Amino acid sequence: MAPMDSFGRPQTVLLLGAKSGIGLAIVARMVGDGARHVILAGREPESLPQPDFDAKVDHVYFDAAETSAHRKFFDEMFETHPAIDVVVVAFGVLRDQLETEAEPDLAIEMAEVNYVGAASALLHASKRLRDRGGGQIVVLSSVAGVTPRRSNFAYGSSKAAVDFFARGLAASLKGTEVRMLVVRPGFVHTAMTAGMKTRPFAVSPEKVADAVVEAMARRSEVIWVPPVLRWVMAALRRLPSRLVDKLDR
């Protein structure tokens, strides 16, 4: 079994995407609930600010797009830190839709990071957790991946792909002690969305973190943040595309 405490709370958390505002909020909430060790993984570990966590914090190098190095990374992580019981997959790239249409390489970059990189990380993390007895994976998806929209279909398609992949992987993990939580937030006020037009039902990273920790306790597999977005997106899927386009302006 995973080395969580007697109440099932995580003790050692690996965050992939050390600059993610949502990821850091999730980790901070877990530390508040008793996590004692945090490993922040990103492309520039030496430049990351030291978070105000009441826990031991390590910074390590990780590049989501460098999938050929992922096997070595996870081998070293679980050898050096065998007590990892939660892996949070929070990295991602968000490009302006019109820019991706003008410069296709930007859309390819999003696909390589948001989907290919995430799929690789999910496979490696799940294998290591399964081999050592169990644990929890949290992966950040998005409501952008639910219904194609003119304003962000390049980004949305990459999130739709990782959402599909994570849910399929979760099905393959049935009968093991490894749990998968797919998180579908709407618009979240973070550095990545700064300057963008806000959307209805926008939330803070802390609201997402609260929902994630509560969902982990319930052993949920998919959550929407805020929950009302489940019904909003269900309604949008039933509308003609021309009406969706008008609402998306």
Encoded tokens for 112: 């390589």
Nearest-angstrom CA–CA distance, 201 and 197: 13
Instruction: Note if 155 is an active site residue.
Output: yes
Rounded Cα gap, residues 94 and 151, in angstroms:
12
Residues in the chain: 249
Angle made by CA atoms 82, 21, 201, in degrees to the nearest 5: 125
Determine the straight-line distance between the first and last CA of the chain, rounded to whole angstroms: 49
Q: Cα(47)–Cα(19) distance, rounded to whole angstroms?
A: 10
Tokens representing 36? 């004692």
**Which of 91, 155, 165, 224 is the catalytic position?**
155
Catalytic residues: 155
